[in-house]
Amino acid sequence: MNNASKFLDSVLKRIDHPSGLTVYLYKMPGFASNYAIFGTRYGSIDNRFRFGEKIIEVPGGIAHFLEHKMFECADGDAFEKFARYGAYSNAYTSFDRTCYLFSCTDFFYENLQNLLNFVSVPYFTEDTVKKEQGIIGQEITMYDDMPSWVVFINLLKCLYKDHPVNIDIPGTIESIAQITPKLLYDCHKTFYTPANMFLCVCGDFDEDKVVDIIDVEIKGDNAPLPVSIFEKESRSAYKQSFGAVMQVPKPLFAFGFKENPKLSCREIAAKDIAVKLISGECSPLYKTLLEEKLIDGSFSGAFSFGRGFAFTSFEGNSDNPQAVADAVLGEIERIKTDGVDISLFEDIKKGYVGEILKDFDNGEDVAAFICDCACKGFNPAKYIEEIENLTGKDVKDAIDSFFKDAFAISTVTAK
């Protein structure tokens, strides 16, 4: 391993707890705040799965619904318990995970115990579930009125015919109406098993005390791990384009490529660098598009992947979205023909590693990075090592894999 990956491997400790829980401990001596994320590999895409001998299908949005309901406990509200001990707490659900987190300067161990306890012990009633259906229904309506989300989810609806990554994370008003306390309990039992979960703790803490709390709060259940089931997708995009009309000051766009979801850690690292080489702030294309006023500071690109899906996307605002798309496609074809600018590639690679290491000075940022790696199934130090060892050929191969039939564009234009 090179310097950055060696550094991370030496300071980040992984513990495979007897319960099956994967624990990451990152000590930050002298830091005033401590930060923890407790997560499960359960997100909006996990609506059809095999559990033991059974194949189970549940309504869309149930992972997000469960996240909302977990803060309600039999003996009170978990948010109130965190507030009592001076902690900020929150949670989120994405396509492939649900995470619960807190940060605090005092009473860290009391807050950690609260985190592990309330996430592990569900409590639902018919009345509170019905009440939450109304609350989340309002949230769904809010997302439907959010142009930045609409343009993004419409891109996924273009790229994917059957994979549930094309479904809004909160579900629909119709799907959440089907959610019952029993369904919530069943999904919690299935996905909130320690072997399907991870804990990341960052800050200035006593490792033995943390492990002692885990020993008390987390017990192995020997339950089988759920296996999500996805329909086989074509490598081509389902649709080439989709346009929506909303009240916006300037058109929005999201375009990109459907990717092969079965990639190695090295190939994933190459995709991340490829996006920066094509359209990052240091790229020639980015500067040209800015000079021509086709983009503004909102323009960005990213490679995203999870269980059964992978895509590269470019998003932003522009008076001429198609011109931006044509320029990006043109740059991709140029690199395919001319090859990778090795000097620029090396600068981007070093800069990216530097960005990651800079995050290790912030508990929240480093926990998010570790959590992302844990959820995706690879060691954080290994990912950095793969970036460091990338060659121009690796990135050229990543760019060569883009092909026309996998491309789609989504736009939102003004009424």
- CA distances (Å), 37 to each of 165, 301, 407, in order? 23, 26, 35
**Would you list the DSSP string of 277-332?**
HHHSTTSHHHHHHHHTTS--TT-EEEEEEETTEEEEEEEEE-S-HHHHHHHHHHHH
Q: Considering 67, 72, 132, 217, which one is annotated as catalytic?
A: 67
Q: Are the C-beta atoms of 285 and 328 separated by less than 8 Å?
A: yes
DSSP 32: S
Half-sphere exposure for 343 (CA within 13 Å, toward CB): 1
Burial class (CB in 10 A: 0-12, 13-18, 19+), 266: middle
Q: Is 67 annotated as catalytic?
A: yes
* Phi, then psi, of 162 in degrees rounded to 5: -120, -25
Q: Are 194 and 220 in contact (CB under 8 A)?
A: yes
Other C-beta atoms lying within 10 Å of the C-beta of residue 121: 14
- Active-site residue set: 67
